[in-house]
Amino acid sequence: MIPLSFAVLLFSGVPIAIVLTLTTLVYIQLSGNEVLFLSYVQQLYGGLEKYGLLAIPLFMLVGELMNEGGITRRLIAFAGVFVGSLRGGLAYINLLANMLMAAIIGSANAQIAVMGRVMVPEMAARGYDRNYAAAVTAAGGLLSPIIPPSMLFVIFGVLAQISIGDMFLAGIVPGLVLTLAFFIVIAVMGFFYQYPRGAEQSRHQALASLVGALPSLSIPVVIVGGIAGGVATPTESAALAAVTALVVGTVFHREFKVGHIAPMLSRLVANTATVLFLVAAANVFGWIIIYERVPQVLATYLQTLTENPFVFLLLVNLLLLFVGMIIDGIAALILIVPILLPIAMRTYDIDPFHFGVVICLNLTIGLLTPPVGTGLFVAANVTDCKPMDIMRPLAPFLLATMLVLLLISWQPGLVVWILG
């Protein structure tokens, strides 16, 4: 009855947070153990009593301040200095700018929306196919949940009760490997379709772009440097980055105005409330899963299939590729971690940071695949393209992501060596 209630609510279009809370109430009622109702609200609220979750609205605030303060445009100009003259140069600029933005925003959908509005019209005007431009932008959004700071990493760290700062560091090498794989895809497609070369900048133009971007580059330095150097926690780094973005946008670029504050904070509150309500709902749902000993039962079953950690990760990846297609990445992460993480650690001796990077990278693929594919639909909406028209040029990027996922699953050293 419980799986049936969950499935009916989910496929009826009910928001996933409501699905989780209602399914838990149905379980308590049908179990006859009504004393659990006394703990329901406590478990719901307890899901938010985690200091690390404060990083989520702070990183969202950094992204909003960047957009309003002219920082995004200057990062794009900075990227153009290094790759703009290559064949398909604007595609490289798009991807490199996405990598820089990923080190600041931490939200794939927000990143796709921002870069889609900025880069796709410019690429289309320079002779690129509009669907290809949208596909490159959408693929760049896949970097956001992997390159720190990452909202998925914050939530995983809270659920797994491990260091969010170390989780951020664990994503650096996989993020760079994924970026390199995307560069290779762009190079091959650029040669095949003969996309135009970008105009080579003069020394004066290049210097102006580099100098103009220096204040903007202070933001990823504050975030990643503060965490890697042990100077600040991820939450403190997010707060410092927000202050830095505000100063850069008002003092250096002089584009952030008082009139931007009200609509910016309105968007921030709405987005934060959505994410945190989902976290709270998933906490109460996970409480029931643990109460029913689901991880133990599943662990026993998986041991009958394989005792090899890599094969276990392959099975998990296959499961999550399917789950990610029908459930939002954050919701899927919150559902999966309480069940599979104990099995990965205790039964297969898999490092929690390795496991976290693997499942977070896996779930990013679901952002761009139907039927849910929120990132795909965001890209379509902001670029006036049809989702299925974007899918064809996007396919090589998704294939590259799957190959990187397979490599990281096979070689945990790519994730954990940076942690010492």
Rounded Cα distance, 352 and 349, in Å: 9
Which residue in 304, 382, 293, 407 sits closest to 342, CA to CA?
Answer: 293
- pLDDT value, residue 251: 87
- pLDDT value, residue 144: 80
Asked if the model's pLDDT at residue 67 lies above 70, the reply is: yes
The better pLDDT of the pair 221, 32 is held by 221
Type of residue numbered 274: T
Is the bond into 352 cis (omega within 30 degrees of 0)? no
- pLDDT value, residue 396: 93
Give pLDDT tens digits for 254-291: 888 888 788 888 888 887 787 778 778 777 777 777 77
Average pLDDT value for residue range 281-304: 73
Task: Give the tokens for residue 229.
Answer: 């150097």
- pLDDT value, residue 350: 94
Average pLDDT value for residue range 71-90: 72
Least confident span in 10-14, 244-248, 266-270: 10-14
Asked if the model's pLDDT at residue 101 lies above 60, the reply is: yes
Q: What are phi and psi of 197, to 5 degrees?
A: -80, 150
pLDDT grade, residue 410 (50/70/90)? very high
pLDDT grade, residue 300 (50/70/90)? confident
The better pLDDT of the pair 219, 228 is held by 219
Asked if the model's pLDDT at residue 405 lies above 80, the reply is: yes
Query: Using the 8-state DSSP alphabet, how is residue 197 labeled?
Result: B
Asked if the model's pLDDT at residue 87 lies above 70, the reply is: no
Task: Give the tokens for residue 317.
Answer: 């990846």
Whether the model pTM is above 0.75? yes
Q: Determine what percent of the chain is predicted with pLDDT higher than 70.
A: 90
Q: Determine what percent of the chain is predicted with pLDDT higher than 90.
A: 15
The better pLDDT of the pair 210, 200 is held by 210
The better pLDDT of the pair 186, 196 is held by 186
- pLDDT value, residue 371: 63
What DSSP assignment string belongs to 2-40? HHHHHHHHHHTT--HHHHHHHHHHHHHHHHS-GGGHHHH
Asked if the model's pLDDT at residue 1 lies above 60, the reply is: no
What kind and span of H or E run contains 262?
A: helix 261-291
Give pLDDT tens digits for 118-150: 778 878 877 788 898 899 988 988 888 788 778
Question: Whole-angstrom distance between the N-terminal and C-terminal Cα of the chain?
Answer: 47
Segment of 154-163, 191-200, 318-327 carrying the highest mean pLDDT: 154-163
Average pLDDT value for residue range 235-260: 85
